[in-house]
Amino acid sequence: MAGDGKLVRVAVAGATGYAGAGCVRLLLGHPNVQLAAVGSRTQAGRTHAAVYPGSNCDHVLVESINAADCDVVISALAPGDAARQAPAWLSQGAVVVDVSADFRLKSADTFANWYGGPHPCPDLLSQAILALPELRPDEIPGASLLALPGCFSTAAILACGPAATHHLIEPEVVVDGKTGVSGAGRSAASAYLFTELNESVKPYAVTGHRHRPEMEQVLSELSGGPFSVTFVPHLVPMTRGIELTCYLRPREGVTLEQLRSLYRDQYEGAPFVRLSEQPVPSKQTSYTNLCWLSLEQQGAHFVVSAVLDNLGRGASSQAIQVLNLRFGLDPRAGLGGDTQWP
């Protein structure tokens, strides 16, 4: 419940995509939330359960969200759509939690460079908070516009952020990423056919992925100076999950035990970040809000592995975690921590 003891009324825009449907599922089981509305422009008039496999939500989908009827709008719309609708939602008094990319980048020019066109509402960029529950929790309470970092960005920032903040590493990292097919969303395309993906691994966006400027922006802010990232993702034949292997160059005299000690201190008490003495398979995070980290050393580099569920911690469950912090709720509310295995 909110600070006044009332249930938090939450609407989900884009409720029939993977991220939006994940939010709906979690909100239905949240003890402090009332699911106020679910939106879909293409499926309006049908119930969510009739449209999305496995859903037990009997709310009728609406074409547009009336934010006057809720406290929060979680937007899981395509890039650009949230920015076009956010001003109206905010003017109606709702908090906006954006799962898409519209408010992650501070620069409208950077957005235009990476997303192929001008930002629909650049005036809101300075108001938006990039919500990082473990590294910048104090910025979340009281904010009206909260942007979630991307799935790759979340993993990379959790993996590299503490070391960058405390200047234990040189301001440049190499990040090798693997992701499941659900990261491409529900849209049909030949590249995501079973026959194209099965028994194959493919690098993509080699010249630059859209999550790279997010990583560089946040790591630069945390370190207090320019920070560069070389990032190459790979598509692997699994449904969900992300694994990042990050290569960090330590500053002179910095040891692996210093790094491990820092990370233990940084994430002590963080319910959704866990440290392991050995690398963890991505499946160990399936359907959870967990991010597992392992820290090793090979030659002159620290090697940090991060795994998380791209649809969970990379999208829907992280949205619920941020909602909880925004309204002073138990960070674990509505979020189970147990892995479904295998």
Domain that holds residue 111: 8-127
Residue 48, φ and ψ in degrees, nearest 5 = -60, -40
Active-site annotation holder among 23, 151, 160, 246: 151
Element holding 74 (H helix, E strand): strand 72-75
Kindly state whether residue 200 falls inside one of the protein's structural domains: yes
pTM for the complete prediction? Answer: 0.96
Q: 121 and 202 share a domain? A: no
Kindly state whether residue 259 falls inside one of the protein's structural domains: yes
Kindly state whether residue 316 falls inside one of the protein's structural domains: no
Q: 111 and 160 share a domain? A: no
| HSE value, Cβ hemisphere, 13 Å, CA-based, for 230 | 5
Q: 303 and 156 share a domain? A: yes
Q: What string of pLDDT tens digits covers the 342 residues of the chain?
A: 565 678 999 999 999 999 999 999 999 999 999 999 999 999 999 999 999 999 999 999 999 999 999 999 999 999 999 999 999 999 999 999 999 999 999 999 999 999 999 999 999 999 999 999 999 999 999 999 999 999 999 999 999 999 999 999 999 999 999 999 999 888 778 888 999 999 999 999 999 999 999 999 999 999 999 999 999 999 999 999 999 999 999 999 999 999 999 999 999 999 999 999 999 999 999 999 999 999 999 999 999 999 999 999 999 999 999 999 999 999 999 998 566 676
Is 23 a catalytic site residue?
no
DSSP-assigned letters across all residues of 170-235? EEEEEEEEEE-GGGG-S---GGGSHHHHTT--EE--TT--THHHHHHHHHHHHHTS--EEEEEEEE
Kindly state whether residue 236 falls inside one of the protein's structural domains: yes
CB 280 within 8 A of CB 159: no
Q: 91 and 173 share a domain? A: no
Q: 306 and 161 share a domain? A: yes
Q: 90 and 167 share a domain? A: no
CATH number at residue 28: 3.40.50.720
Specify the number of domains making up the chain.
Answer: 2
First to last CA, the chain: 34
Distance of CA 215 to the CA centre of its chain: 12
Q: 57 and 189 share a domain? A: no
